[in-house]
Structure 1
Amino acid sequence: MPEPIRVSPSTPSQTNRAGTYTVKPGDTLSTIAKNQLGDSSRWPEIMSLNKGILSAPEKLGAGMVLSLPAGTGHPAQVAQTTRPAQTPASPQVQQPTTPPVRPNSVDGFDRVVSLTFDDGPHPVNTPRVLEILKQHDVKATFFVTGQAALKYPDLIKRIVAEGHAIGNHTFTHADLSKLSPDQAKAEFDKTQAAIDKALGQHYEISMVRPPYGAGGKTTRAAMGPNQHMVLWNVDSNDWRYRNDDAKIMANIFEGSESVHARGGVILFHDIHPQTVRILDDVLSKLQKGGFDIQRTDATIGRKNPVII
């Protein structure tokens, strides 16, 4: 991406003219929508109106001149910038009859996302994932299996020591929809015991993720009273595209199922080398795009249909 043009806050070029806004350093589409339109969730309207110069939210740079939806802005700004003082008041411009579809998770999360890693720990790839997360000062959530926790207790210790959260992904990566509630509970309980053994003390697991997203009645019956089931908003499908890193990146950042459209919880697997290969680019792109990356447990309480 070209180096964004740096614009001093005091330069005249930042003064709005009719229906436009010049991007300042630190702006995001959400903050522009909030400050100029009065509603942060209207950022897709700005995106749509400027698709000729802005192909993706992370391409936003200081100095860009964006068109704004007609008939918007704070009342004082509209009066000063859209009507010459010597002319009669213009009739109010009508809004489009069909508003653009708004994302159901970016709006609720205020561009807060969380990275989750399933199926580990893995003796080779999990340490590499942890190192990349450390380089970006990002905390994530690892949904581990009990079997892997027993095999690699030092990695369980490292995950916790470096400030990440651990979630329960069952002991054998079982499809809980095919088990009884008691069998499903045993899967969770054995994983809890494996994590406690690895750490040498009890670790309170507040999040579970059923393998294959099998979050039906059996899973809910097997969960503890203070636990949350965490599914995902965005699926990287890293496991599927072992030799196509570009496709994994596209799954995350492009289209109607991307982080820009859905936000929230992103699903990865820390057992695959392709996940390691793309992770640095993913984190750089999220951070440059103005996303706030948090541990999943820090987002519990926000409105998100995939956290139950």
Structure 2
Amino acid sequence: MTEVVLAAAPTQMLAERRRFRVLRKLAAHRSFKIGLVLVAILVLCAIIGPMLTGIDPTAMSIRSRFKPPSARFPFGSDQYGRDILTRVLYGGRLSLSIGLSVALISGVFGAAIGVTAGYFRALDPYVMRLMDALMAFPAILLAIGIGAALGAQASSIVVALSVAYVPRTARIVRASVLVIREMEYLQAARVSGAGDLHIIVKHVLPNCLGPLIVQLTFIFAYAILAEAALSFLGIGPPPPAPSWGNIIAEGRDYSVEAWWVMLFPGLAVSLAALGMNLLGDGLRDVLDPRLKIET
């Protein structure tokens, strides 16, 4: 027993040093830091911003319609006299929650499918051909079809976008598993009598987390952009509940005389997508040893 503990100690210390090096590289990576700051600001605004304004995002005032940005309406008002700043802050909650939900669902199901296909060779051709069939359709078109069938609501968008992005996540995980399953330490685990479930949980999944996390940051950004596009087409979360996408959609008929209605939610969508992409770039540079770290 003493020998096992002594042998495990260097391995644990090595893992801790590796984690420390990763955190140090992330702290020094310019893109990662900028992306983290942008995302943190947007999340903070979505959480506490509505509490600071104290305004109902659905409250209408016809006499205040189409007010340009001013001290009373920092982002202006829309065709119903609603405060755009408040609606953008509340809309951030819905848009960011949709992006997070799509990323989590795609991560869970994509990882499960990718590990199954990559680890169990007999299932690989059948599972991946199904994923290839789904990937044959452009993600946005597949999401439009599913969203139209399920109806215009937030849950429909989450399901539609998750179905569109699960195959892409599954292929990323499968590619990692195909390499990992041939490693010597996995062969040693099989020889020692470890079962498939134990090997997958203890050895395969932890070594797939790097590429998976990077992929999910990009999916988060894609989901926010796709929600805005689907809402613009009338398939997203229906009004009056605000999301960045449906605020932009409501302002498209007034883009000339009330440009601010589309401008500020559009900037929020752009900043969220930029922040998540910068985060993903930083994680990819640090977690992929084949790439040179840029600081």
Is TM-score (shorter-chain normalized) higher than 0.5? no
**Normalised by the shorter chain, which TM-score bucket?**
under 0.3
TM-score (norm 1): 0.22
Structure with greater strand share of residues: 1
Structure with greater helix share of residues: 2
Of structures 1 and 2, the one scoring higher in RCO (CA 8 A, sep 6+) is 2
TM-score (norm 2): 0.23
